Structure 1
Amino acid sequence: MLNKVVMVDVRLLRRSSYNPRMVQDPEKSRMLLESIRRIGVQQPLLVIPAGDNSYEVLDGGRRLAAAVEAGIYRVPCIVLEPHDVPRKSLMLHLSQEDLTPEEVVVFVERLVHEEVFRSVEEACRFIGVSKSWFYDLKKLVKVRPGSDKLPATVLAMVERSGLGEDAKQEVLRVLAQQHVPRSVLKTALKEASEKPEANPVEIIDKHLSSAPQRLDENVLTASGTYTYILTLTSKTIEFTARHAGETLWTATMPLNDLHTVKRLWQQA
């Protein structure tokens, strides 16, 4: 049963006390609920045995809440070994790259306080970052307006971009208002750092416009096998991603822009 997908009654599931997420996005929760109402829970929850035939949810608390609200009584789960739970939870949520800086800081400090780690330095070694990165992140939580709306990895990416302070603030303001895929942001920040005279927001917009655009507004329903199609015309190349007969992404670019085509294909 361990590490296999099993169907579990939602009444036997409860949120783990070692879930670091403190911020809930109402819009994402609404989208997730609508997705689960239509197609059910597609991504299994990660759980550990909690005694009395019940389980704690390490990852998937939002899916569980949405399933209950949608009237679903059994959900797919993967049962993990019930040891090193705090460390597992930390790595699970960091790997998803959607924790805010405050959530990272608070959870790491909690695990140090509870002696899961002997020190912040040990915790940083465990997650693969330097102690200075952690303390810089802690400082940024206090000084960057709007940083609580952004994943810690995104904030760190901007902070290490080499942009000037005014440019960083402008980029963070934009990122707090609209979603930018990490691959697009990484490429745009690299170009912006090499062109200090250029407007970094305009560079981000340029790369966004050339990236695949998903036509389905509910981005949480994607799963399964995708088909990627390159269509060549006399002047352009069209990149299309399809799933279950439905077009999810499409992007058209000049015929000579082979670098962008290669990048899109690698991202796919």
Structure 2
Amino acid sequence: MRKALGKGIEALIPKVSRAAPMEIVSIDINKIKPNKYQSRMQFDQEKLKELANSIKGKGVVQPIIVSPSGENYQLVAGERRWWAAKMAELKEIPAVVRRVTDREMFEISLIENIQREDLNPIEEATAFERLMKEFNLTQQELADHLGKTRSTVANILRLINLPEEIKEFVSRKLISAGHARVLLSIAGEEKRIDLARKILKEKLTVRETEDIVERLRVKRTPSGKRVARKEKSPEVVELEEELQRILGTKVRIKSTGSGRFSLGEGGKVRGKIEIEYYSLEDLERIVELLKS
């Protein structure tokens, strides 16, 4: 059974018992330093202003969590509230003080953002990569910590390989992570960027983008004519899409027979499954997924 890492803030603030009440203290807001492991790179300024206005009227309802750091404090959780409180020009802010290690601080910050869906896909991928590098974790160990499958972690990490321009598109929600994964199935940075711009210009769906990529791969005979493709049943198409989701790359199921083929055909059906990879590292990733 996969063990999820803590429960975000609940990992720091256990259920309060009468014997050990939770202590909330007021701390000078200028003595608090931002969380150096904050996974989120961008904050919605309009939402921060709304929260600041709410704090002006009602105060900070939920305390932030900090860890002692010399004469100051390191923010562990509640960065939006802290920034909004500063915007509201509060002098002090309610906080719970807990001593945590750097690793715990990073993990709690990451999990809190994931639980609240505060991270965009690129921020999530960057945080995963940093967590693995700083604390020497494998993909499987990270997956176990976060309560995710290894294939999910691997697919998120693949977004790191996107060109910076496409990362920006994803971060700004101009294209989806689904679009980005389709773009990763194309070899060559320029081709990826060209198609990403086409997605923006023509407002293409993920499915339409997949169709374009598939057309780019259609083989030609020596005379230059396209080779006719066999029609696939919806069940086969669905199976292809499921394999692509799991493996994070382009997968094609091909029949050696002629005409339309489906999973429910009578008699013997022969064929092959083609799985694409784009580097030795990508091949090793796919092999590990197939073995797991």
TM-score, normalised to structure 2, is 0.47
Which residue type is aligned with residue 121 of structure 1?
Q
SS at match of 1:23: coil
- Contact map agreement 2:122 2:159 (CA 8 A) in 1: no
Q: Residues 7 and 75 of structure 1 are in contact (CA less than 8 Å); yes or no, is this contact kept in structure 2? A: yes
- Partner of residue 74 from structure 1, selected from 89, 92, 106: 92
Task: Choose between structure 1 and 2: higher strand proportion.
Answer: 1
CA distance in structure 2 between the aligned counterparts of 1:82 and 1:140, rounded to whole angstroms: 30
Q: 1:18 aligns with which of 37, 50, 66?
A: 37
Provide the C-alpha distance between the structure 2 equivalents of 1:76 and 1:97, rounded to a whole number of angstroms. Answer: 24
Q: Deviations over 1:103-146 (max 9, x none)?
A: 111111112211x2422221111001122112222445747995
State the match for 2:123 in structure 1: 103
**1:155 Cα offset (Å):** 6.1
- Alignment match, 1:173: none
**Structure 2: stretches of 5+ with no match in the other structure:** 1-19, 182-204, 211-292
Letter in 2 for 1:88: I
**Match for residue 63 of structure 1 among 66, 81, 88:** 81
Match in the other structure for 2:67? 48
**In 2, are the aligned partners of 1:59 and 1:93 still within 8 Å (CA)?**
no
Equivalent-residue separation in structure 2 for 1:121 and 1:128 (angstroms): 10
Select 2:207's aligned residue among 166, 183, 186. Answer: 166
Aligned partner of 1:148 among 159, 171, 176? 171
2:112 maps to a residue whose letter is L
**1:134-188 deviation digits (Å, cap 9, x = unpaired):** 22224457479954246xxx968xx9xxxx943899xxxxxxxxxxxxxxxxxxx
Letter in 1 for 2:91: Y
Equivalent position amino acid for 2:207 in 1: D
1:123 — aligned with what?
142
Q: 1:123 to 1:26 in 2, by over 3 A?
A: same
Unaligned runs of 5+ in 1: 170-268
Deviation of 1:70 after TM superposition, in Å, equals 1.6
Matched to 1:148, the amino acid is S
Q: Distance in 1 between matches of 2:149 and 2:40?
A: 22
Aligned to 2:55: 36
Given the alignment of the two structures, is residue 112 of structure 1 paired with residue 164 of structure 2, yes or no? no
Kindly name which structure, 1 or 2, has the bigger radius of gyration based on alpha carbons: 2
Q: Compute the TM-score of the two structures, normalised by the length of structure 1.
A: 0.51
Q: Is the aligned partner of 1:134 residue 2:153?
A: yes
CA contact (8 A) 2:67 2:74 kept: yes
CA displacement at 1:2 relative to structure 2 = 9.6
Structure 1 Cα separation of the partners of residues 22 and 120 of structure 2? 28
Once residues 168 and 74 of structure 1 are traced to their aligned partners in structure 2, the CA distance between those partners, rounded to angstroms, is: 51
What does the per-residue CA deviation read over 1:169-215, in whole Å, with 9 as the maximum and x for residues that have no partner? 9xxxxxxxxxxxxxxxxxxxxxxxxxxxxxxxxxxxxxxxxxxxxxx
Counting matched residue pairs gives 158
Q: Describe the shift of the 1:57–1:166 C-alpha distance in structure 2 as closer, same or farther (beyond 3 A).
A: same
Distance 1:145 1:118, change over 3 A: closer
SS in 2 for 1:8: strand
Q: 1:41–1:75: 8 Å Cα contact kept in structure 2?
A: yes
Aligned to 1:125, the other structure's residue is in SS state helix
Deviations 1:216-236 (A, max 9, x none): xxxxxxxxxxxxxxxxxxxxx
The residue aligned with 1:229 is none
Q: Is the partner of 1:36 in helix, strand or coil?
A: helix
CA–CA distance in structure 1, aligned partners of residues 153 and 31 of structure 2: 36
The 3-state SS of whatever aligns with 1:77 is strand
**Could you say if the C-alpha distance between residues 56 and 101 of structure 1 is closer, same or farther in structure 2, counting changes exceeding 3 Å?**
same
Aligned partners of 2:21 and 2:99: how far apart in 1?
7
The RMSD of aligned alpha carbons is: 3.0
Aligned partners of 1:167, 1:126: CA distance in 2, in Å? 36
Name the aligned partner's letter for residue 34 of structure 1: N
Residue by residue over 1:35-65, the C-alpha shift from the partner in whole angstroms, topping out at 9 and shown as x without a partner, is 122222112111111122x211122222222
Q: Percent identity?
A: 27
Question: Are residues 46 and 136 of structure 1, via their aligned partners in 2, closer, same or farther at CA, if it must alter by over 3 Å?
Answer: same
